[in-house]
Structure 1
Amino acid sequence: MSSTTTIKVRLSVMMFLQFFIWGAFFVPMGGYLSELFKGRQGLNTIIGQSYATHNWAGLIAPLFVGLVADRFFNAERVNGVLHLVGAVLLYHCSTVAEPGTLFWSLLAYFLCYMPTLALVNTITFQHVESSERDFPRIRLWGTIGWIVGCLVIAESFFGLLPFPILPGIDHAGATSFPMKLAAAVSLIYGVYSFTLPPCPPGGKGTPVSIGKLLGLDALKLFKDPAFAAFAFCSFLICIPLAFYYASAFDYIGKVAFGEKAGGVMALGQVSEIVFMALVPFFFRRLGVKWMLLTGMLAWTLRYSLFGEMLSVPSMLVLGIMLHGICYDFFFVTGQLYTDRKAPAEIRASAQGLIGLLTYGAGMLAGNYILGWWGDHIALDPSTSEGWRVGAKAFWLMPAGIALIVAVIFAVSFRDHSADSKNPKNP
């Protein structure tokens, strides 16, 4: 095996471990919290605030990476330290039984984890020959890691076959075990990170600009009405997105699939892989506007299925498998659009700004709104009956938001200059 191939294998293992950790505990966390705080007043708010910790951390992560990792220390070493500390913090989270303490503990953990999402990309880009050819293949192992994490916790192969990796643990997703497992893997991964190829700080000695780190120098793009409409709708569509990450696992488990829920949820990532490969095909034929609009409308359809078809498991599975369209058609297309609209000197800042608006501000708002809405309609997510009574009202809320955003986008976005089928573009 050549040294180049060996490095790619090592980086693929890095990606697998990185996303195994996240998928193993983040997907079932809503179900665990609904059991842990069952009967507590404001249960939905507790769940929403707990999930919001990763968004708060996501807002801070670019500053950490830009101020510390890019300027003072090797990226692989920073990655190792953050995962070792994160292992301790995540294990601590698994022992906490008070909402306030859990919020701060999860926030502390995600302040360690979220910067590593950028670090693994930095490490990969520095050690591949062709970023366009090699990075997608390596990053694919991250999605596989997420899927395997879900299957291990569910002890089910996509809800179809038994996958008894955890003998003696029943319904592991509703317990603190996923956090403990992810903490153990984080410990192993932290040590492994120190064996990765060296990645010296690329920004050493360069002046610090908080505005550039947050992507604020890309605000000039807002002078273009089409880009402004795209950015505004990107923020808004992430409000309903938060409902899926925080509540879908618990919902489908309670109303249809029980302890197999994690395995069924993993079908969403399988769909993501398939549609990721199809993005170039559709991008050339549909163009930017229809790709983005299709992604938004897919969110409306998914939540409508969740709200109206809770007694039809196959429709719930369809809703989950729409993830490839929901995610790839909107977010991947949005990244391509941003890359084509932004001048070369601010492309990184533009991507950072969109990330700040979506996974930062948009999902942060969404997690607080879902908590408020769940408590407003008196949803009891800790029982099957509670979900059956409240599912329609709960899920049609984000479906409505997604539909309104799609209408706003359809009316306000007029830009064909970045379509790949436009002859002016490569």
Structure 2
Amino acid sequence: MAANYAAAETAGLTGSATLSARLSTMMFMQFFVWGAWNVTLGLVMQTVGIGNLIGNAFSVGPIASIAGSLLLGMAATRYLSPRMLMVILHLVGGVILFLLPSLVTPERAGAFVWLLLGYMILYMPTVGLANTIALKSFGDRVDNFPFVRAFGTLGWIASGLIIGWAGLSASPQIFTVAAVVSVALGLYSFTLPSVASDPPRDESIVRQVLCVEAFGLLRQRSFLVFILSATLISIPLAMYYAYASPFVGAVGISNVGGTMSIGQMSELAFMFSMPWLYRRFGVKPLLLVGMIAWAVRYSLFAIGDSGDSLWAVYVGVALHGVCYDFFFVAGAIYTGTIATPKGVNAQAQGMLTLFTYGVGMLLGSQIGALLYAQLPATPTIADWQHMWWYPAIAAAVIAILFHLTFRDDSRTTTAA
């Protein structure tokens, strides 16, 4: 009997390891596809002479995060399983990615932005679908999820390193690399675990899409302050995603993709420590450190150059782990703490995504485009330095307002 028990336990461990490996592969490819083109797209557009549309190109992600969740995340999952949606969306998305390089020209730039929007409407729901497949496959063993999700960050890092090593950082062929992996992921998705869609809630789909129950949480003053701060801090965040890569190229760094991946490496380093840090220090210190880090990062960019201050550019990129994890990961944990007692965790997380990656980053992309439009056709390092002071000051002001107005009452709420 003991031998049978040991054999069963060994088989269970082996099965769990195999499942983790399968899901880790999915996460790796999922974020490889996005990272392959997103990191250096601004540099590509500036190189081919359509830098004036960088703001519009980076506005499609926020728009798609709203439209994609509405059209696919809420509606399509009622008719198709998460696995089949992954297959369809990544295969169709891969075809679109193959078409995009031919449109990255001054003559066809408008069509490029519109087709990129269409692609992102297909891609954005797959991020949530990948999380859903992983979490439901693990069942009660959700403690395995951070390990699997870390492979998504590794995929983003690997894409940057490969793009940089291949000398494609400024080439429209970044989309071709993403297309190959997208098609591979679509085919691989046939082998993913088959998990059921979420059962429909008693409330109407309109109430679910509009996150009606989650919006009720805004009656709590602390959560309202947090949501407003998260939305505002996402405005300077958008400028990093859109304009950091052309700036890094302007200071004379040739391997832009590899350099930008340093930020994801630091993100990975801090990711696993966030639950412990949250329990140890609480939400306000973490959120505040994250916001201050944004101000410091942009200040470093504002003093960085191709000479003795090149170190400031590298340190600014490396601060991504503190900037992202200390605010957005800690913010997601805080949102769950507030929402779970009310039973609206999923809606609240969706609402947080709507305000940050939707409203905040859309505003940031457009404001960044206005600032970039003030630069000459071929910006000097001094021009770039001047532009970075705007998000640096904005992030500092937001951090001060947050410190003065936010009071953590999540423990009181949880107890109640």
* Separation of aligned partners in 1, 2:413 and 2:368: 43
Please, which of 267, 292, 299 is the counterpart of residue 294 of structure 2?
299
Report matched runs for 1:161-200 at 5 Å: 166=166, 171-200=167-196
User: Which of 89, 98, 118 in structure 2 is aligned with 1:108?
Assistant: 118
Q: Give matches, 1:40-51, under 5 Å.
A: 43-44=51-52, 46-51=53-58
Paired with 1:29 and 1:324, the residues of 2 have a C-alpha distance of: 21
1:137 aligns with 2:147: yes
Residue 160 of structure 1: aligned partner: none
Between 52-61 and 274-283, report the one with greater CA deviation: 274-283
> Which secondary structure does the structure 2 equivalent of 1:330 belong to?
helix
Letter in 2 for 1:80: V
Structure 1: which 5+ residue stretches go unaligned? Answer: 156-165
Q: Does 1:147 align with 2:142?
A: no
CA contact (8 A) 2:160 2:257 kept: yes
- The answer to whether the 8 Å contact 1:64/1:115 transfers is no
Cα distance, 1:409–1:205 mapped onto 2, change above 3 Å: closer
CA pair 153-48 structure 1, distance change in 2 beyond 3 A: same
SS at match of 1:174: coil
Match of 1:407 among 400, 407, 410: 400
- In structure 1, give the amino acid aligned to 2:22: R
Give 1:309 shift. Answer: 2.1
Matches within 5 A, 1:251-290: 251-258=247-254, 260-290=255-285
1:122 and 2:142 correspond: no
Identify which of 202, 205, 208 aligns with 2:198.
Answer: 202
Return the alpha-carbon distance in structure 1 between the equivalents of residues 256 and 73 of structure 2: 38
- CA shift, 1:189, in A, is 1.0
Distance in 2 separating the partners of 1:4 and 1:392 = 50
Q: What is the SS of the residue equivalent to 1:201? A: coil
d(CA) in 2 for partners of 1:204 and 1:351? 18
The answer for the alignment partner of 2:228 in structure 1 is 232
Q: Name the counterpart of 2:39.
A: 27
CA distance in 1, matches of 2:344, 2:367: 33
Output the amino acid matched with 1:325. Answer: V
When normalised by structure 2's length, the TM-score is: 0.91
1:389 paired residue number? 382
Percent of aligned pairs with the same amino acid: 37
Shift of 1:379: 4.1
Answer yes or no: is the 8 Å Cα contact 1:275–1:324 preserved in 2: yes
8 Å CA contact retained: 2:338, 2:414: no
Higher helix share: 2
Task: Tell me, in whole angstroms, the C-alpha distance in 1 between the residues paired with 2:376 and 2:119.
Answer: 28
Is 1:14 aligned with 2:26? Answer: yes
Who is 1:211 aligned against? 207
Deviation at 1:130, TM superposition (A): 3.5
Bigger Cα displacement from structure 2, 274-283 vs 333-342:
274-283
User: 1:131, CA displacement in angstroms?
Assistant: 4.6
Cα distance in 2 for residues equivalent to 1:317 and 1:256: 12
- Cα contact 1:215–1:351 (8 A) shared by 2: no
Give the Cα–Cα distance (whole angstroms) in 1 for the partners of residues 218 and 160 of structure 2.
39
Q: Using the alignment, how far apart are the partners of 2:267 and 2:366 within structure 1?
A: 26
User: CA-atom RMSD, angstroms?
Assistant: 2.0
Alignment partners' CA distance in 2, 1:121 and 1:297: 29
Residue in 2 aligned with 1:318?
A: 315
Partner AA of 1:28 in structure 2: T
CA shift in 2, pair 1:66/1:257, >3 Å: closer
Q: Secondary structure of the residue that 1:269 maps to in structure 2?
A: helix
CA distance in 1, matches of 2:303, 2:328: 26
1:363 maps to which residue? 361
Judge conservation of contact 2:73–2:125 (CA < 8 Å) in 1.
Answer: no
Distance 2:171 2:122 in 1: 23
Larger mean Cα displacement after TM superposition, 5-14 or 16-25? 5-14
Which of 325, 347, 355 is the equivalent residue of 1:328? 325
Which residue of 1 is the match for residue 246 of structure 2? 250
Match of 1:340 among 312, 337, 340: 337
Q: Does 1:89 align with 2:124?
A: no
Q: Which one-letter code corresponds to 2:209 in the other structure?
A: L
Which among 74, 86, 94 is matched to residue 67 of structure 1? 74
Q: Is the 8 A contact 2:55 2:369 kept in 1?
A: yes
SS at match of 1:73: coil
Q: Aligned residue for 2:217?
A: 221
Alpha-carbon distance between aligned partners in 2 of 1:209 and 1:256, rounded to the nearest angstrom: 51
**C-alpha contact (below 8 Å) 1:295/1:326 kept by paired residues:** yes
Whole-Å separation in 2 of the counterparts to 1:185 and 1:237: 32
Give 3-state SS (helix, strand or coil) of 2:273's partner: helix
Contact in 2 for aligned 1:71/1:205 (Cα 8 Å): no
Deviations 1:86-121 (A, max 9, x none): 011112111102221111110011011001001101
Which deviations, in whole Å up to 9, do the C-alpha atoms of 1:286-330 show, x marking residues without a partner? 321111111001000000000112242211111111111100110
Secondary structure of 2:305's aligned partner: coil
Q: Say whether the 8 Å CA contact 2:62–2:358 is kept in structure 1.
A: yes
Relative to the length of structure 1, the TM-score reads 0.89
Tell me the residue number matched to 2:59.
Answer: 52
SS in 2 for 1:414: coil
Q: Higher mean Cα deviation, 341-350 or 290-299?
A: 341-350
Distance in 1 separating the partners of 2:200 and 2:194: 15
1:248-276 Cα shifts (integer Å, max 9, x gaps): 11211221312x11111111111111111
1:418 aligns with 2:410: yes
CA gap of 1:287–1:249, structure 2 versus 1, over 3 A, is same
Contact 1:251 1:387 in 2 (8 A): no
